[in-house]
Structure 1
Amino acid sequence: MKRFGVLLCAAMLAGAARYEASAPESEAFTQPIEGLDATHAASFRKGSGIFRQAWVIGPSQDHPDFIGLGPLYNRLSCIACHVKNGRGAAPDSENGVARTMAARLSVDGKDAHGGPRVHPDYGAQLNPEGVPGVAGEGQAVANYAEFDVLFPDGGKITLRRPTLSFRNLAYGPFGPETKTSLRNAPPVYGLGLLEAVAEAEILAGKGRPNFVFDIETGKRALGRFGLKANQPNLKQQIANAFAEDIGITSSLFPVETCAPTLSECRSASKPELSDAQLDAVLNYIRALAPPARRNLEEPPVKDGEALFHQIGCSDCHRDALHVADFPLQPALNGVDIHPYTDLLLHDMGEELADGRDDFEAGPREWRTPPLWGLGLAGKGGDGANFLHDGRARTPAEAILWHGGEAQTSVDAFRNLPEPQRDALLAFLNSL
């Protein structure tokens, strides 16, 4: 009976997953893992509230536990960029300002822990907003130039190449040595299961690991989160996002991110995000289930899955990993999950290069993104834009932007007749 229960839970979470039938597509990314005990269920609800809460400057009688916004920030809450826990949206065509994205900044060299050396005036990322009396740093603007790509069988697809620029820089020009990278907000469901994959299984993959700095241990650790696998665990990933995106300090990141003219605020102070709040958000993210697959028995989906393996996509987008230890739901220990990632770095070619090193990740290297939930992108009000900078509007566009290690697979996709291309895309849409 226990084995049946394990399989049922695994079926809900894995590639053939089924979450609650009553959950509409618009809520597909908001469901908790089945069978959480009362304590973890309560923590999930608390963390969900904090994830959605807008932070304020203070004082506030209405929100006394959510004071400390800024002095510089990108958005007021986590959910503002990760709408319904999904992807960010590309800038609108009217003004091009990136609102659910972040512009990462660095200069030549590395910091004391081997990470990127942040910009001396603007820090690790550009924050467009400031509290009263503090000027926002400026806006990142993405404009897209479209061009057509022809398939050998006469089909056509339009791609778009982004150009990143900046306006209203409040603290002077960046300088010619500045390296910039536009980063779209990635989805946050299923991350707890990826954290539970054993390090040895990740290192057995075909990609290259990124080893980064773990703040709590003070040691070098395997990176598995972030678009370049530049964070070792979810706790550090979440705390860093609070610090960089909302200006909220914590025990992991106790120093405010400030412009040079506000150096007095760089000193450590009482954390604005308590350890209890951080743990609640951590448990919320860890317990978010990936959505169920759909249309598994349709012939195009089956054919597309075979083609996915045949042309080599699964070399990086591994279809199966294993949960090693998952305290939130021990019944899942040892089960298969199907995220379609290896959590490793791969050379994606010059077209996708951002010109920045990130710990051991080079400018052309990106972590393989999970594909589960791909077919539901945009269904809940979240963005339906793909790749690190949101340039791809469809999975087909994303495929054609691949280069480097993936070039052979891209060429194979382009040479497929249209019915087979459609079948491969039908498979991706089923995830």
Structure 2
Amino acid sequence: MSSSTSSSGAAGAGGAMPAMFEPGEERPGGDTTLDTRDEKSFSRPAANLSLERLGTFEAGLALFDVAWTVGGEVDRDGLGPTYVGTSCRSCHFRGGRGAPPPPGQPMTSMLVRLSIPSEDGATFLPDPRYGDQIQNKAIPGVTPEGWFSVDHAPKPGSYADGTSYELLEPTYTARDLAFGPLAAETRISPRVAQPMIGLGLLAAVRDEDIEALADPGDANGDGIRGRRNHVFIDGTLLPGRFGWKANEVDLARQTAGAFLGDIGITSPLRPADNCPPIQVDCAAAAGTTLDIDPARFDAIVVFSHLVAMPHRPDAADAEVLLGKALFSQARCNACHTPSFVTGPLAGFPEVEGQRIYPYTDLLIHDMGPELADDRPDHEAGGRDFRTAPLWGVGMTSLISGHTRLLHDGRARNIEEAILWHGGEAEASREAFRALSASDRAALLQFVSSL
């Protein structure tokens, strides 16, 4: 690893000079950052936890890993009636990222959301037979809803220098639907699980700092129109920041939604099982008490806030710094905002006042027709997605055993993820396509170093 902290060195083929190394970049989570980088890095406790807090974190981690059952041990009972996985780690293996299944096979770390647009188009409704998400498994005596398979067709392309590439375009097929076909107007949104790192730090980014980056009317004329998604919570419209479309306002609600939608676990924030009227066996099996009590639910929320960020050992490497300059030159940083200083977050002093490097603006953007799922989600349209945080992306293979990216895992690596960008990111994608092979490699090395 180079220890250089200056911008000296050879320019890239396009004339870009290496960027300056900013002290602190090597510790993207501030005081929460750990020096350890291994296959468990996405489920380790933040470096600045007290012993008492560490105990709560470990209790939450145990709940994250536990396999829920039906009719078993009291502290693990509550699975279903219908579900996708038996544990949080089923989708977030080692706290990492999900992936699409092999062709023709059921999804294991991926799910399919469903919705029907309302008549005025301002909101959405669940599918009348299957609710807002397909559940491909069920407890004994209850009928699984069905499942989706995915296939990929080649989509060839080439760089400005003539180098060819091939993307994979997904198609989805509903199979074994137990209660009849989906409604004709039902929209689907396939989604892979996102990694667990840095969530509490993102929760602590000040709303005013996010709002300052928003430009829904493109007042500065740069073609970037980032905006907040807003969600009604108890009659109040609140800004979202978590989920692929920023449709969750905080990690407690994100956790409750995942518990119910993915495992069938009811909690203080989501106390009712999800059984559409036609699914009478599901309704008959639904419990009348919470599957997870407030204390245990709070423990897993603490865990979700306090997973450590791994350090960046190559942050000052000369090739990485050249890639950083090219990343900026292509205006990738117009949406992938490098840095924030976190503000106060009630109950989580560990994440306050930290200089962090997540490379996201936490806003939603129009990503063009090719990535569109055509499924609205509150104020996010069918082409809108939240800017994905890039920190830790280079560790995907180490943690998750694959390198699939984007909301549906169609990209097999970072390069393909860039090439799928459209809409507001089209100019940045074209700037990447115009780079020389060596400059493309440097930009990709920079992103991998995050």
**TM superposition shift of 1:96:** 3.6
**TM superposition shift of 1:336:** 1.3
Match of 1:4 in 2: none
Describe the superposition over 1:41-82 as per-residue Cα deviations: whole angstroms up to 9, x where unpaired. Answer: 111000000000000011x2xx31111111100000000110
Among residues 25, 28, 46, which one is paired with 1:14 in the alignment? 28
Q: Is the 8 A contact 2:160 2:433 kept in 1?
A: yes
| Letter in structure 1 aligned against 2:386 | R
Match of 2:38 in 1: 25
**TM superposition shift of 1:331:** 6.0
Among residues 81, 86, 97, which one is paired with 1:76 in the alignment? 86
Match of 1:109 in 2: 118
Describe the superposition over 1:151-198 as per-residue Cα deviations: whole angstroms up to 9, x where unpaired. Answer: 121212220000011100011011211111101111111100000111
**TM superposition shift of 1:426:** 0.5
| Letter in structure 2 aligned against 1:132 | P
Which region of structure 1 is more displaced relative to structure 2, 101-110 or 245-254? Answer: 101-110
CA distance in 2, matches of 1:17, 1:143: 43
Distance 1:188 1:176, change over 3 A: same
2:437 aligned with 1:423, yes or no?
no
Q: Is the 8 A contact 1:18 1:293 kept in 2?
A: no
The normalised TM-score by structure 1 is: 0.91
Distance 1:272 1:193, change over 3 A: same
Match of 2:66 in 1: 53
**TM superposition shift of 1:26:** 1.0
| Letter in structure 1 aligned against 2:151 | N
| Letter in structure 2 aligned against 1:42 | G
CA distance in 1, matches of 2:110, 2:196: 14
Among residues 357, 364, 380, which one is paired with 1:345 in the alignment? 364
Match of 1:377 in 2: 396
Q: Is the 8 A contact 1:257 1:266 kept in 2?
A: no
Distance 1:105 1:329, change over 3 A: closer
Q: Is the 8 A contact 2:37 2:310 kept in 1?
A: no
Match of 2:308 in 1: 289
Match of 1:5 in 2: none
| Letter in structure 1 aligned against 2:204 | A
Q: CA RMSD in A?
A: 2.2
Q: Is the 8 A contact 2:90 2:108 kept in 1?
A: no
Structure 2 matches for 1:160-239, cutoff 5 A? Answer: 160-206=168-214, 207-214=226-233, 217-239=234-256
Q: Is the 8 A contact 1:295 1:430 kept in 2?
A: yes
Match of 2:218 in 1: none
CA distance in 2, matches of 1:223, 1:18: 24
Match of 1:274 in 2: 293
CA distance in 2, matches of 1:392, 1:281: 30
CA distance in 1, matches of 2:408, 2:245: 13
Q: Is the 8 A contact 1:105 1:179 kept in 2?
A: yes
Among residues 353, 356, 364, which one is paired with 2:383 in the alignment? 364
2:335 aligned with 1:325, yes or no?
no
**TM superposition shift of 1:90:** 1.8
2:128 aligned with 1:128, yes or no?
no
**TM superposition shift of 1:321:** 1.4
CA distance in 2, matches of 1:135, 1:199: 43
Match of 2:279 in 1: 261
Q: Is the 8 A contact 2:405 2:414 kept in 1?
A: yes
Counting aligned pairs with the same residue, the percent is 40
Distance 1:78 1:110, change over 3 A: farther
Q: SS state of the match for residue 118, structure 2?
A: strand
Match of 2:152 in 1: 144
CA distance in 2, matches of 1:192, 1:275: 19
Q: Is the 8 A contact 1:210 1:359 kept in 2?
A: yes
Distance 1:327 1:211, change over 3 A: closer
CA distance in 1, matches of 2:296, 2:30: 33
Distance 1:264 1:229, change over 3 A: same
Match of 1:246 in 2: 263
2:295 aligned with 1:314, yes or no?
no
CA distance in 2, matches of 1:218, 1:338: 34
| Letter in structure 2 aligned against 1:376 | M
Gaps of 5+ in 1: 1-8
**TM superposition shift of 1:265:** 4.6
Q: SS state of the match for residue 351, structure 1?
A: coil
| Letter in structure 1 aligned against 2:266 | T
Q: SS state of the match for residue 142, structure 1?
A: strand
2:106 aligned with 1:97, yes or no?
yes
Which region of structure 1 is more displaced relative to structure 2, 29-38 or 116-125? Answer: 29-38
Q: Is the 8 A contact 1:87 1:185 kept in 2?
A: yes
